[in-house]
Amino acid sequence: MGNLTMLLVIRADSHRHMPMYFFLSHLSFLDAFYSSVIVPKLLENLLSKWKTISPLECFTQISLVIFSRAAEACLLSVMAYDWFQAVCHPLLYVVAMNKKVFTGLVGASWTIGMGTGLVNSIRLAQQHFCGPNLVRSFACELPPVLLLTCSDPYVSVASILTTMAVLGLGTLVLLLGSYTRIIMTALGINSAMGQSKIFSTCSSHFLVVTIFYGSGVFRYMTPASGSALEQVLSVQYSVVTRC
């Protein structure tokens, strides 16, 4: 509801149609979409005696989860690049971030997310599952479902690692590069008020990025085991960061 309210406020106010709010509206939609994929089934499982999910529903959930996370990672790096242009090149900002550019960046984020979700979920669906198919997680995600395969998961694992290396590191490098230039520019300003304005403006986005990547690294860079700590990290990554 919070994300949908923010989305409606941005859409209703004509003064909030600049790139920053355009990116924020798509980020809010992705967060609301992700919550809609995970939370309803989570609540159903908590309230029902039989906690089941069909194979089609499971692989669909995996595909949508990967899509939203990949698209959000791209969108967060795009927002950091937008801040970089606004802080480091304020006079050229309107030219550098015109409507064609920022709509293209958002479109690319969605396209990459969709492609990543389809490729990884299709690779996983081609594996052989011989049972018992007990997913030790509150949702269908790649790490716990991979534990159920009876065939060699090499192709799926290679696909996941490639995605993490290319998409994860690529967006992270863009984020770190943008924030490094922003910090250097802010420190070069003599006005304390100017520095405070820059840091206060970027702090909320930096906090979201830290929680998103921090939780993601702990969730996907550790072996899947179904432990209580893994469940906590999964909830942190899947639910808390969407608020």
Domain coordinates in residue numbering, the chain: 1-240
Say which residue the tokens 């011989």 belong to.
130
Question: What phi and psi values does residue 188 have, to the nearest 5 degrees?
Answer: -85, -5
Q: How far apart are CA 89 and CA 178, in angstroms?
A: 12
Torsion of CA 216, 222, 228, 231, to 10 degrees: 30
Burial 207-231 (b: 16+ CB within 10 A, else e): ebbeebbebbebbbeeebeeeeebe
Instruction: Specify the pLDDT at position 35.
Output: 84
Helix segments in 48-168, DSSP class H: 55-88, 93-96, 99-125, 142-146, 154-163
pTM of the model: 0.84
Cα–Cα distances in angstroms (integers) from residue 86 to residues 67, 80, 94, 230, in the given order: 28, 10, 9, 39
Check: CB of residue 145 under 8 Å from CB of residue 124: yes
**Any idea how long the chain is?**
243
pLDDT by residue, tens only, the chain of 243 residues = 888 888 888 878 766 668 888 888 898 898 889 888 888 888 888 888 888 888 888 889 999 989 998 999 999 999 889 988 888 888 888 888 888 999 999 999 999 999 999 998 888 888 888 877 888 777 888 878 888 888 888 888 888 888 888 888 888 888 889 888 888 888 887 777 777 777 777 777 777 787 777 777 766 666 666 666 666 666 666 666 555
3-state secondary structure of 167: helix
Contact 179, 81 (CB under 8 A): no
Nearest to 84 by CA among 186, 206, 178, 210: 178
* CATH 1.20.120.10 at 1-240, yes or no: no
Under 8 Å CB-to-CB from 131, ≥6 apart: which residues?
148
For 241, the token pair is 């960061």
Q: Which of 57, 7, 59 is nearest to 33 (CA)?
A: 7
d(CA 96, CA 229): 44
Cβ atoms of 106 and 23 closer than 8 Å: yes
pLDDT value at position 114? 93
pLDDT at 110: 95
